[in-house]
Structure 1
């Protein structure tokens, strides 16, 4: 599934809602898996909005074997590349990628030819989730 949404905070819940529907269609009903997918998606989408000068964010979610792969691409416009921080207890921001790392089996980032950045994460499917493709 590919979603192209405006780089606005109010687009985050829209993206989550669309991905919930996609998860339903894929018959992924395990609440732990759904929670992790939506958490990772929210963090990546929010980071793209906050740290990019682009006007659109593209989200891709796909299923392969026992993983769900989430990719969020922004159109760049800033020289910074997302990196994990370790903020102090009193700091309110800076934990997004740390949450992504703890919630996924792997994650990464890459700078694209359009000067944008794609950040991705792989969330494992729970043992009880059916691995067949939904009809």
Structure 2
């Protein structure tokens, strides 16, 4: 689980891993529904490949399929299945990154324009280049 420890929680993404390894009779529904610990962004549960899967060289496509099936077929988590899993996590993080980048573009454009203006001012202060005499050899 990763938590960016800010009191505001505005950059906090929490991922609960290895949900499939919880003891029988226990679940993480209250956490994943945001009841136990409320964040700005919803909790995302994932099912990791087991060591046996890794040893058997189970590819990531099969692992993601198993993960989807786990959430869809689990009585505890089926109602949350559409927003669980590594694929969903990737989409959420990509969308957030896109939003952050878009929000930064205006300030970057402003900084670039300011820098261009400063450089143009400096060039004007230095004046025009001195013409070189084509016949002079150095």
**Shorter-chain TM-score above 0.5:** no
| The structure with more strand, counted as a fraction of residues | 1
Q: TM-score, normalising length from structure 2? A: 0.25
Structure whose alpha-carbon radius of gyration is higher: 2
Higher normalized contact order (CA 8 Å, seq sep 6+, divided by chain length): 1
Q: Give the TM-score taking structure 1 as reference length.
A: 0.26
More helix by share: 2
